Amino acid sequence: MILASKVNLYKFDTIPAIDYAFDDSFTAPFYQRVDSRWKKPKRFNLAVSMILGLPAGMITTHDLKRNHPLGAKYHIVDGRQRKAALKVILNPAEFAQELQ
């Protein structure tokens, strides 16, 4: 019999978007797409929603609990493209170039 108090399936953390976007300890596992399916309009819509104070969305990660060869601490199970979009949006020079 498993006691409910000892089961910890989920842990919810709130991470500021800028910290998440530029933190290299979050990496994509091998089964994630390499190319981004998020094109300019979708990234722009994310930027506008963040300016309006709406949440940037959920990102699901898996704690690796061991040393990763590249120094990663977490695998991004869902949300890799959101991370890439946030990195573009939060880099003023790159985002301005994309808007042109």
Encode pLDDT of 59-96 as tens digits: 888 888 776 666 678 888 888 888 888 888 888 888 88
| Amino acid letter, residue 99 | L
Q: Whose CA is closest to 23, among 68, 64, 84, 69? A: 84
Chain segment 7-46, per-residue pLDDT in tens: 556 667 777 777 878 888 888 877 777 666 777 788 788 8
Residue 33 burial by CB count (10 A; 0-12/13-18/19+): exposed, middle or buried? exposed
Question: pTM of the prediction?
Answer: 0.68
